[in-house]
Structure 1
Amino acid sequence: MQLHTTPRTPVADGPIGTAANSGRTRMYPWLVFLLTFGLLLADYMSRQVLSAVFPVLKPQWALTDSQLGSLNSVVALMVGLLTFPLSLLADRWGRVKSLVLMATLWSVATLLCAVAANYHQMLGARFLVGVGEAAYGSVGIALVLGIFGTRVHAALGGAFMAGGSFGSVLGVAAGGAIAVHLGWRWSFVTMAVVGLVLAALFGALVSERKLARHADHGSAEPLRDSDFRVPVSTLFTNPAVWCAYIGGGAQLFTAAVLLAWTPSFFNRVYRMATDTAAAAASGVVLLVGAGMVCCGIAADRIGRRDLSRKWLAAVVFCAISLVCLTVGFSIEHGVAQLILIGIGAWFSGGSSGPIAAVVADLTHSSVRASAMGMLTLSDSLLGIALGPFVVGLLADRYGLTAALRAAPLAYVVAIVALAAGRYLYPAGLRKLAAIHNE
């Protein structure tokens, strides 16, 4: 067998809607993407609205920074613990039904946050938010990548991952404004209503049957009921995929810190009011999301002829953010600091798109949601859950600025893992090719 850059050749990257593609339309895949992306926005709006009201809850309930951090981290912890089993269940039970159920659950749990009377009730409600959101990212991205070609996987993966940042921007900015004018409880009510409305639209407009008709569009391995399913164990036997998991989680450590703690940073260090700090932090979070999209597009272009270059692009993005954020949080407060933090934020999650793309390249379509579940598990345990909590602990002991200065060191782990993944990538492709030929 002759091994090409990837063992799968896109079969329908070109136009659709021909007689051979009966039942397909050009717009339906983009409709699915927009609805899935919209729910992802709602997901992170519900998750990150809490950061906007940190300055209100801290004095009202007499909370420590580690307690505040735990209210964020419990969501990511549940995502990390449940994402793989729920992704595996979604691969078997149906991805559309799973997504609608998840969105409904996290939206109802967000309503419970609005009526919480103390720290422990809020912690319980946030626990349920995490259960609802657990596998949405992995199942959603698997659903989207299944109806688009490999040539745009890094861009779509980056855009989908950036939905977390964009949702965080909306959640933090809107949550801060609503908290100031109507009270912090209405911030949660608003996010819950948005999620419930989008869940209803998704359930009405997206179906497994329609997805099956469009599955050949850009997908080298369309998943039909008649297709064979590879064992779940194949997710754990490819060293290159493990490198992607570790690198993906480590590179999101600092991005998660920026999402959770920049409102408090502007509130404490720059003495901004709650709503002003939330708006300023939203600008940083917006840079994180925009960087994910643009870095994903850049990685697709860089890896167009050689997919292994996507690994190299991910390493470069991590290195730039490491340098800029470390220096930025080390110098005096002012314009220069904000510029460096902005540049670092732009590249902080830039590796997410290419990492999702290489995981998709190295896994069979029948277990792709489960593979993305494993990536989400790593993202949560090594990055999204760990980052805000660790920085909260460090902030209690050394101060918030010192804690933020130390956070970018996680990129060292990411760079090592991604460099190793690039080295192991050809062997990983051969493993996948062997599965296809069995």
Structure 2
Amino acid sequence: MGLHTAGTTVPGTSPAAPAVSRSYAWLVFALGFGLLLSDYMSRQVLNAVFPLLKAEWLLSDAELGSLSGIVALMVGVLTFPLSLLADRWGRVRTLVIAATAWSLATLGCAISASYGQMFLGRFMVGVGEAAYGSVGIAVVLSVFPIGLRATLSGAFMAGGSFGSVLGVSVGGVIAQEHGWRWAFGAMGILGLVLAAVYGLVVTEKRLGPASIRNSAVSGERAPVRTQLPRLFSSVSVVCAYIGSGLQMFIAMALLAWIPSFLNRYYDMPPAKAGLAAGVFALISGIGMILCGIVADRLSRKAADRKWIVAIVCSLGSFVLLMAGFHLPVGPLQLVLIAAGTLVAGGTAGPAAAMVANLTPAAIAATAFATLTLANSLLGLAPGPAVTGMLADHLGLLGALQVIPLVALAGSVAFIIGKFSYEDDLRRLGLLPGPALKTPELQS
């Protein structure tokens, strides 16, 4: 049975009316979204130049996959400690330093002379990007009403797909015209410019009122160490982490290997394959936004409907991608793959909203860091690398026919989370009383 609305605010979350002006809130979102575009442009430009690096350095598919996967691995390993530091030291300062670091590392990739040097450069890109996603979304959600959480989370995370579109498509064009080194160089310079603008416009002082009111409403001023156990205090929040991570396996494998898939099986040159793959990444981002909007709208009267949206997206990606990659080359195959891509990342907004609802605002960045950790270690890091290893043995098409099976496990996690959600909310004191018809958290 759903959780019925009455207008109750969940402890540890921001109020319905944020403390900053609406125009400034959207400015914070726009600048944060811009930096997220830069983040993923720097990360995904590599995929556009896979064919060029493979030919120049004679790399295997597994080595190419490792250059992509190492970034996500470092994000997964470092996102938690760096986000915890940001919660204590200052989120804006952390974001500016992070953006500067990944941009300089991307410039380093532009001058690398071997696989080893490129691997080191990509390693440092991952170090710089480690805290951005979790801290950036925590800043955004702190200045907006609770009722927009799934929508904003989906939209913010969609910046990764849109950045991938730009990184793959623009990077492919630059690489074909001027060489792959200029592709990395352009991304690095853009990141440095955006980091400077963000640091000048978004400040801790202007964000301060939102954080102060957030704590005042919730009454949670306890030390962070007393809040950390809440990161894993319920079955439903753990299921949100796991389900989201497994779906990211599918999404990242597609982003990394669609350019090579189009190059090998549709005989597209690198630039054209990059542009076409950019369309798929754009579709993925649109899916994140649309599914987030749907989840927020459906959850106005029953908060657990966010789980239903996640389940439908997960199962839908399995069916569509499995069918698509088993079809012969042609328009119908591309249509089904595009449809599967649309819903593959649609779980991002609902999962992030559930994490925000089930964890304290005092450690918002750390909670999203935990989600990012799950996304990275379960999905973003192994997705490209495992697909590459499978491709070395089964061929790229064979590998892409296997990976949709991961979505089945993601569906199971979301199903368990849905049936545990209401009990977990009551056990954590986020819903009053044992009765079934109780006030819903605003979601």
For 1:117 and 1:385, the matched residues in 2 are separated by 24
Helix, strand or coil at the partner of 2:16: coil
Runs of 4+ in 1 over 3 A off after TM superposition: 3-7, 9-14, 214-217, 219-230
Query: Which residue identity lines up with residue 425 of structure 1 in the other structure?
Result: Y
Does residue 8 (structure 1) correspond to residue 4 (structure 2)? The answer is: no
**Offset, 1:213:** 2.2
- The answer to which of 423-432 and 275-284 deviates more is 423-432
Q: CA deviation at 1:270?
A: 0.2
The aligned residue for residue 296 of structure 1 is 292
Q: Deviations over 1:148-168 (max 9, x none)?
A: 111110000000111000000
Letter in 2 for 1:329: F
Q: How far has the Cα of 1:207 moved from its partner? A: 1.1
- Which residue in the other structure is 1:179 paired with? 175
Matched, 1:408 2:404: yes
Counterpart in the other structure of 2:426: 430
Superposition pairs of residues 212-227 of structure 1, within 5 angstroms = 212-215=208-211
Alignment pair present for 1:100 and 2:96:
yes
Distance, in Å, in 2 between the alignment partners of 1:150 and 1:104 is 31
Classify 1:233/1:204 alpha carbon distance in 2 versus 1 (closer, same or farther; 3 Å). Answer: same
1:29-428 mapped onto 2 (5 Å cutoff): 29-215=25-211, 229=224, 230-428=226-424
* Secondary structure in 1 matching 2:321: helix
Alpha-carbon deviations, 1:368-391, whole Å to 9, x = none?
Answer: 111100100000011111111111
Q: Confirm or deny: 8 A CA contact 1:215 1:222 kept in the other structure.
A: no
Kindly indicate whether the alpha-carbon contact (under 8 Å) linking 2:299 and 2:305 is maintained by their aligned counterparts in 1: yes
Instruction: Rate the CA distance shift 1:183–1:228 in 2: closer, same or farther, 3 A.
Output: same
Supply the distance in 2 between the matched residues of 1:42 and 1:222 (Cα, whole angstroms).
35
In structure 2, the CA distance between the partners of 1:167 and 1:117, relative to structure 1 (3 Å rule), is same
* C-alpha separation in 2, matches of 1:224 and 1:70: 45
Cα deviation per residue 1:365-416 (whole Å; 9 max; x = unaligned)?
A: 0011111001000000111111111110010001001101111111111100
Mapped to 1, the partners of 2:220 and 2:93 lie a distance apart of 16
- For the residue of structure 2 that corresponds to 1:433, the secondary structure is coil
Q: How far apart, CA to CA, are the structure 1 residues paired with 2:70 and 2:268?
A: 27
The answer (yes or no) to whether the contact 2:10–2:430 under 8 Å persists in 1 is no
The aligned amino acid for 2:16 is: D
Using the TM superposition, give the Cα deviation of residue 428 of structure 1 relative to its aligned residue in structure 2, in angstroms.
2.2
Count of matched residue positions in the alignment of Structure 1 and Structure 2 = 427
Structure 1 counterpart of 2:189, one-letter code = V
1:186-240: per-residue Cα shift (whole Å, max 9, x none)? 00110011111110011101111211224478x6876899666443122122221
Rounded to whole Å, the distance in 2 between the matches of 1:65 and 1:318 is 27
Distance across 2 between alignment mates of 1:139 and 1:340: 35
Letter aligned with residue 254 of structure 1: I
Question: Contact 2:220–2:362 (CA<8 Å) still a contact in 1?
Answer: no
Q: SS of the counterpart of 1:305?
A: coil
Work out whether residues 4 and 301 of structure 2, in 8 Å CA contact, stay in contact via their aligned partners in 1.
no
Q: 1:226 to 1:378 in 2, by over 3 A?
A: closer
Contact 2:14 2:361 in 1 (8 A): no
In the TM superposition, residue 435 of structure 1 has moved relative to its aligned partner by 12
1:79-103 alpha-carbon deviations (Å, 9 max, x no partner): 0111111111111111010000100
Q: CA–CA distance in 2 between the matches of 1:409 and 1:8? A: 36
What SS does structure 1 have at the residue aligned with 2:413? helix
TM (norm. structure 2) is: 0.92
SS of corresponding position for 1:429: helix
Render the CA deviation track for 1:333-357: whole Å, top value 9, x for unaligned.
1011011011001101000000000
* SS of aligned partner of 1:231: helix
SS in 2 for 1:355: helix
Q: Is the 8 A contact 1:146 1:222 kept in 2?
A: no
Mind listing any 5+ residue stretches in structure 2 that lack a counterpart? 433-443
Secondary structure of 1:86 counterpart = helix
C-alpha separation between the residues in 2 aligned to 1:223 and 1:387?
38
Query: Percent identity among equivalent residues?
Result: 52
1:238 and 1:211 map into 2 onto residues whose CA distance is 30
Change over 3 Å in CA distance of 1:342–1:165 after alignment to 2: same
Which amino acid counterpart does residue 181 of structure 1 have in structure 2?
Answer: E
Give a deviation string over 1:52-84, Cα, whole Å, max 9, x none.
000100010000000000000000000011111
Name the structure 1 match of 2:435. Answer: none
